[in-house]
Homo-oligomer: A and B are copies of this chain.
Amino acid sequence: MNIQEYTDRLEKLDISKMFGEDFFWTWDKTDDELEAVFTVADALRHLRENNISTKVFDSGLGISIFRDNSTRTRFSFASACNLLGLEVQDLDEKKSQIAHGETVRETANMVSFMADVIGIRDDMYIGKGHTYQKEFINAAAEGHKSGILEQRPTLVNLQCDVDHPTQCMADLLHVIHEFGGVENLKGKKVAMSWAYSPSYGKPLSVPQGVIGLFTRFGMDVVLAHPEGYEVMPEVEEIAKKNAEASGGSFTRTNSMEEAFKDADIVYPKSWAPFAAMEKRTNLYGDGDFDGIDKLEQELLAQNAEHKDWTCTEELMKTTKDGKALYLHCLPADISGVSCKEGEVDASVFDHYRVPLYKEASFKPYIIAAMIFLSKFKDPAGMLKKLADQGKKRITEL
């Protein structure tokens, strides 16, 4: 495949509205826009694999704000910025004066004087993460309009309480490559299933992101979880509408077995019940830390009732030809490796290790593509220019 094929594909898409836009949720974007992200991600990877520089920024900053621990998203964002020529500057809220009672509006302006991109991870509290991202970027956009900021930075959602678009699009790009093209996804069965974990309070953004995205491609998406582990109803609504529009389906079940049966793709992963997370957010708002501790104990006990929700070899055998593609956002809770009992058997995980890591390897390119499409009016033209220039990433003799 040469760069021409990517730019040809891109030129057929209606992506006129991506310029200057942020990336919050996949369901804000049209099918063409999602395809553009996949295409640019592949094109950037193609260039890098051929030692062609994709530095479109001579200088400029990419600001990252991680309100929760992160390894792969942190390094993916750093890689994406570096690939395009931006330097990462992390806002470590502990080293800043934000504790002084500074408003989001102020912080957003103060860190954005030379920021071309802002990447935020804020996934801990239902109703908070997305709100924070929105407030932050609105303030920066206003700052740009008022002449404070010379450029309007682009927001890339690095995980909020609702969606995790860089993760789920990386997951899906991996699926596209494994199945030989987006046109082969129609009719495939996807099991997005809850799985047992000894830890507590895992975000809902991955299962929500998966059902909100995978239903766009004509697949039969099954969301499976024990009773009481519901995700946000708004996102289920989106999944249903997507499925209708794409000619796929979206169903729910309380049986992991049913979900896995004949599945082409399985995504077994723990998450916390939406209602409990909402309760926790309220307790946190009230400063009721005893209440939070009590809730934690309840949730751990509730989890422990569902240790049988785990991705075993036996379960994998019931999938399509016994070899469904296993997905995970990582790190997984692997039974006998990272915990006593967890989301997946060690032997299943080991079997899928290489594809799992490949899945993760798309994330830097997905992030870079989101930035690229927001920054250039004619992304196809820009890709051609990079290819024509042929500047080497590593100097050659």
Contact = CB atoms under 8 A, between A and B. Distances in A.
A166 interface: no
Contacts of A87: 78, 82, 87-88
Contacts of A392: 58
Interface of A: 45, 48-49, 53-61, 63, 66, 69-72, 74-76, 78-79, 82-83, 85, 87-89, 91, 95-103, 105-107, 109-111, 113-114, 116, 143, 146-150, 199, 330-331, 333-334, 337-339, 353-354, 357-358, 360-361, 363-364, 375, 378, 381-382, 385, 391-395, 397
A110 B397 contact: no
Contacts of A63: 75
Given A60-B393, A71-B107, 20 more contacts: A55-B58, A57-B393, A58-B392, A59-B82, A60-B394, A63-B75, A71-B97, A71-B102, A74-B96, A75-B111, A79-B113, A97-B331, A101-B339, A102-B330, A110-B357, A113-B361, A113-B364, A146-B354, A149-B361, A385-B397
A109 B358 CA distance: 9
A76 B89 CA distance: 11
A358 to B, nearest CB: 5
B358 A101 contact: no
A355 to B, nearest CB: 9
A55 B55 CA distance: 14
Given A110-B72, A111-B75, A337 B101 contact: yes
Q: What copy number does this chain have within its complex?
A: 3
A131 to B, nearest CB: 18
Contacts of A333: 100-101
Given A82-B87, A110-B330, A143 B61 contact: no
Contacts of A56: 394-395
Contact of A49 (B101, B150, B338, B358): B150
A393 B146 contact: no
A9 B210 CA distance: 58
Contacts of A114: 48, 79, 82-83, 364
